[in-house]
Chains A and B, each alone.
Chain A
Amino acid sequence: MRHSTRIAVGPVQFRIGSDWPEPITALEQLYASYPKDDARSADATVRLLAARPWRRWVRPSVHIGGDFVVPDALPLPLSMGLLAAEMGMNLQVALGWRRHMLLHASAVARDGRALIMSGESGSGKSTLAALLGEGDWRLMGDEFTLIEPEGGNALAFPRAVSLKNEAIAEVAARVDAARLGPLIASTPKGDIRHLIPRADAIADMHEPARPALLLFPRFGGNAAIEPMGEGETFVRLTEASTNYVALGEVGFAALTRLVRETPAFGVSYPDSATGIALVEQLWAETK
């Protein structure tokens, strides 16, 4: 790779290489305030490859490569190099990480206790976490939450938050423009703009938090809270975990424990303000 950088997000050290300088420059700006430890070996490698050597000069387009490669990963135009890097980082963690149980879930923490939100794309888990992280919560991550198999604690993975479509304006109105990355318009996922987490979220990213509340948000519809039984929560979280099967009995033990010890609710909400109010209400009730 002609250009490369290293980024540490939570416990994961990434090495990201690219045939072009632009995605690396953009990543280094976005992750400038993250602690650096270039001496540490990389846990995951992401490669942004030119489709063919000459394509580096003519209509550049980015392929995602790395330790794990998904055959149908989209080639993206160079203007979306940052998105390609983000997708590559997610892919390497989702497929390769074994030290913790990985949940496709956002999380925020308060007083050493974690609120974990799991849901499909569009459920609003990322936006809710970003907005809570601008209040008196510590953002742990908008995409992945790691669960320690031995102790059951949640670990943060506070990558730059990937804001999509309407969430961009909603969050941009509340934060310093210096914390926002460039607008990446019309990607396969719509418009995307990254938010650099608050300094405290980055400084405390190695601080574990005890899972205290599991929520399954659903954006749209009337405000509603529905308690979720242990069985349904277990099934949903096996679906939300990218490495449950690979972890074998360790994953089974970690997940049964998480489900038994953590109250879980489905939450529907028509707008972010209502969503945040419901979260605060449930948090107060589970204390």
Chain B
Amino acid sequence: MPEPTYRAAPPDALRVEPLGELTAIFDRRSMQTHLVVSPMPEILEAMGADDCDAVTLAERLAQHFDFDGADDVQPILAERLSELAAMGLVARA
């Protein structure tokens, strides 16, 4: 089965404020506040303008983070992406 692809929120839809160990995200579309921890803010930042799936995301994140050869990065990212979609912070493309 192909990896589902996701689309980032439009520019200006989210206001992201790191608060120590948590990151508060205000979604201007739903007026909801989301509180997330790592790696959610990093994933949102790496999403970019084009659609992407867990494979592409893993490649992008690997440029900035050392995954140390771990082989479960993709399934973990796929799970996090589906959680972000459930929160409405990313959308299924």
Contacts and interface: CB of A to CB of B under 8 A. Distances in A.
The answer to whether A and B interact is yes
Interface of A: 229-235, 238, 245, 248-249, 252-253, 256, 259-260
Contacts of B33: 238, 252
Contacts of A260: 19
Contact of A234 (B15, B19, B28, B31): B19
B28 A249 contact: yes
Nearest to A257: B17
A231 B15 contact: no
A234 B26 contact: no
Interface string B9-20: 000000101011
Contacts of B73: none
B24 A252 contact: yes
Given A230-B20, A233-B19, A253-B15, 13 more contacts: A229-B19, A229-B22, A230-B19, A232-B22, A249-B15, A249-B26, A249-B28, A252-B33, A256-B17, A256-B19, A256-B24, A259-B19, A260-B19
Contacts of B31: 245, 248-249
A253 B19 CA distance: 12
A256 B20 CA distance: 11
Contact of B22 (A231, A249, A252, A253): A231
Interface in B24-73: 24, 26, 28, 31, 33, 35
Contact of B19 (A231, A245, A248): A231
Contacts of A230: 19-22
Nearest to B33: A252
B87 to A, nearest CB: 16
9 contacts: A229-B19, A229-B22, A230-B21, A231-B19, A231-B21, A231-B35, A232-B22, A234-B24, A256-B17
A221 B85 CA distance: 44
Nearest to B31: A248
A266 to B, nearest CB: 15
Contacts of B21: 229-231
Q: Which 6 A-B pairs have the closest CB atoms?
A: A231-B22, A230-B20, A230-B19, A252-B26, A229-B20, A256-B17
A228 B33 CA distance: 20
Contacts of A238: 33
Nearest to B37: A231
Contacts of B22: 229-232, 234-235
A235 B35 contact: yes
